[in-house]
Amino acid sequence: MADAVLVLLLLAALGATALLAVRALRHWYGERAGRVYELPVDHRGTLLRAGASGVAALFAATVAVPLVHDAAAGPVRTRAVAAREPDVMPSPPARTPEPAPPPPELRVLGHPAGGTLQELRDGTRVWLPRHYTTPSASGVAYPVVIVHTSSAGSSAASGLYSAFAGQANRGRANSFLLVAPPRCAADSAAVLTEVAARYRTLTARTAHGVIGIGSQAPCAVREALSHPDRYAAAVGISGDYPAMTRPTGRYPSLLLASTTAQAGQRASAVRLRTSLRPTGDQVRLLDGVPRAKDLPAQVAAYLTEKLDGPARTPTASLTPTPGSPFAPTVTATPTGTSTATPTGTTHTAPTKPPRAPHSASAPTSRAPAAHTPAPARKPATAPVSTSAPVSTSAPVTAPRPAPAPTSTARRTPPTPPRTPSPRAHTSTMPSHPHVTP
């Protein structure tokens, strides 16, 4: 295609060169013929036509050079190709596409409300409280709360993190691990198992709760009613609940929260409470909060009342705090050997002489971890006189053991103050919301 265009340009340039040359020659003849009649001679026209003809000839030469070069090189290239024997190139083997690298096991998304938000490989997001990564909390296990929202990164989830962190900082609620699965239909048992394998969590039922916000509130309540052995408390926030079948046995404690402006949600919560026929405070209604952003703070206080709080586990890397529920206990066994229990190592004393029972003031079940009972005193023996003969007919009186102390206060170190019970908060909910028992 390019060669054809060059040929057309060359022909046009040659034609223009010839035409201008002829016109320049004719103009020159005309000026020459006027000399006979003594007319003035003007050669400018001849010069202009001759110059234009030269420009056209130069353009034709420029176009002809590549055409001549291609024509001269064409036969040589053809002969070289013809002389070379065709080589059969083997086709390269088909490469198997490399699989995409798997997503990381765990990645940090940010630090909302001073905590740490992480995402697991399956999309589950875990929010860790602020004190979780501190050295002082390296041996502390935390309760777990499953959170169901329309989206794990929604503003409702962010508000929940801020409310829980604020209540914990003010001392009005315990610290919880908030776990948001990617969807409500996910297997909650598998989620709890995965979280327990990666984080320091309490695995008892009394340390597990579930929350549903908005359209996911019915899913959270239904999950709690279907698995009473998995959760101890459930919360529905601003939800519209359909009719649900009342469980046959005892179900977890429920809190159905709504604002004063959400009349439809409150009416749905009342219908659900009536259909469940609760006993005592098994189902509570929270409808006296004017703003929706204040509901998560009340939820944190409710879960503090219903669930176990953070505690040191028996497998903690640090030494248990004396007086904590996981400190070792002291018991006596007839064999006089040391036995180990899940809560620590039990030290026992030899049972040669009988000992007086402990007084009411001495600790019996939760002894400090560093306490080791003093060895029992040997029975006092009567001095034997070598001068007086011993009568073999008289009965031999067995030596009496030394009197045991009535109180072990002097032989045992003072009992340190016990850590607060995980259920230290009986009810931290403010008084201004209206709570229907």
pLDDT in tens, 305-328: 999 999 987 654 433 333 333 333
Tokens found for residue 28:
């020159």
Q: Stretch 260-281: mean pLDDT, rounded?
A: 92
pLDDT digits (tens, 9 = 90+) for 70-82: 766 655 444 444 5
Lowest mean pLDDT: which of 265-279, 339-353, 411-425?
A: 339-353
Q: Does residue 373 have a pLDDT over 50?
A: no
Q: Does residue 261 have a pLDDT over 80?
A: yes
pLDDT digits (tens, 9 = 90+) for 100-125: 776 677 899 999 999 999 999 888 99
At 356, the pLDDT band (50, 70, 90 cuts) reads very low
Q: Stretch 388-402: mean pLDDT, rounded?
A: 41
Decide which of 415 and 286 is more confident: 286
Where do the DSSP E strands lie in 240-399?
253-259, 283-289, 311-312, 339-341, 344-346
Q: Does residue 401 have a pLDDT over 70?
A: no
Q: Quick one: pLDDT at residue 69? A: 72
Question: Residue 25: CA atoms inside 13 Å, Cβ hemisphere, count?
Answer: 7
Distance separating alpha carbons of residues 238 and 299, to the nearest angstrom: 12
Q: Stretch 8-24: mean pLDDT, rounded?
A: 82
pLDDT digits (tens, 9 = 90+) for 23-56: 888 888 787 777 667 677 777 778 888 888 888 8
Q: Quick one: pLDDT at residue 95? A: 75
What residue type is 156 in one-letter code? A
Distant-in-sequence, close-in-space partners of 246: CB < 8 Å, separation ≥ 6:
275, 276, 277
Q: Does residue 8 have a pLDDT over 70?
A: yes
Decide which of 400 and 25 is more confident: 25
Helices 155-169 and 295-306 pack at an angle, to 10 degrees, of 60
Q: Quick one: pLDDT at residue 86? A: 60
Percent of the chain topping pLDDT 90: 36
| Burial class of 256 by CB neighbour count within 10 A (0 to 12, 13 to 18, 19+) | buried
Q: Stretch 205-233: mean pLDDT, rounded?
A: 94
Q: Quick one: pLDDT at residue 380? A: 42
Distance separating alpha carbons of residues 308 and 322, to the nearest angstrom: 19
Using only C-alpha atoms, the chain has a radius of gyration, in whole angstroms, of: 49
pLDDT digits (tens, 9 = 90+) for 135-183: 989 899 999 999 999 876 677 888 999 999 999 999 999 999 999 998 8
